[in-house]
Structure 1
Amino acid sequence: MTDFNQYKALTFDCYGTLIDWENGILGVLKPLLLAHNTNLDDAQILELFAEFEAELEKGDYYIKYREVLKRVVQKFGERFGFEPTADELNSLADSIQHWLPFPDTIEALKTLKQKFKLVIISNVDDDLFAFSAKHLQVEFDQIITAEQAKSYKPSLNNFRLAIERIDLPLDQILHVAASVYHDIVTAKSLGLSTVWVNRRAVQKRLNTIGSAISQPNLEVPDLKTLAALSSAK
Structure 2
Amino acid sequence: MSEIRWATFDCFGTLVDWRHGISNGIDLLFRGQGARLLENYNRHEAAVQAEMPDRRYRTVMTEALRRTAREAGLSLREDDAAVLGATIPYWPVFDEVQEELTSLRDAGWRIALLTNCDQDVIGESQRRLGAKVDAVVSAEMVGAYKPRHNHFNRFEESFWVSRNNWVHVAQSYFHDMEPAHELGLARVWINRLGDPDPRSIVKHQLPDLRGLTDAVEAAHAERLAAR
TM-score (norm 2): 0.87
Q: For 1:1-233, what aligned pairs fall within 5 Å after superposition? A: 8-34=5-31, 40=33, 42=35, 44-59=36-51, 61-114=53-106, 115-201=108-194, 204=195, 208-212=196-200, 215-229=201-215
- Structure 1 residues without counterparts, runs of 5 or longer: 1-5
Please provide the CA RMSD for this pair. 2.0
The DSSP-based 3-state class of the residue aligned with 1:222 is: coil
Identity of aligned residues (%): 28
Q: Number of aligned pairs?
A: 215
| Alignment partners' CA distance in 2, 1:171 and 1:144 | 20
After superposition, the Cα gap between the structure-2 partners of 1:45 and 1:145, relative to the gap in structure 1 and judged at 3 Å, is: same
| Alignment partners' CA distance in 2, 1:217 and 1:169 | 21
Greater helix content? 1
- Structure 2 residues without counterparts, runs of 5 or longer: 219-227
| Alignment partners' CA distance in 2, 1:224 and 1:30 | 30
| Alignment partners' CA distance in 1, 2:62 and 2:185 | 33
| Alignment partners' CA distance in 2, 1:108 and 1:7 | 19
The DSSP-based 3-state class of the residue aligned with 2:112 is: strand
TM-score (norm 1): 0.85
Q: State the 1:167 CA deviation.
A: 1.3
Q: 8 Å contact 1:73–1:88 — kept in the other structure?
A: no
| Alignment partners' CA distance in 2, 1:94 and 1:61 | 21
- 1:3 is matched with none
Runs of 4+ in 1 over 6 A off after TM superposition: none
| 1:177 partner amino acid | A
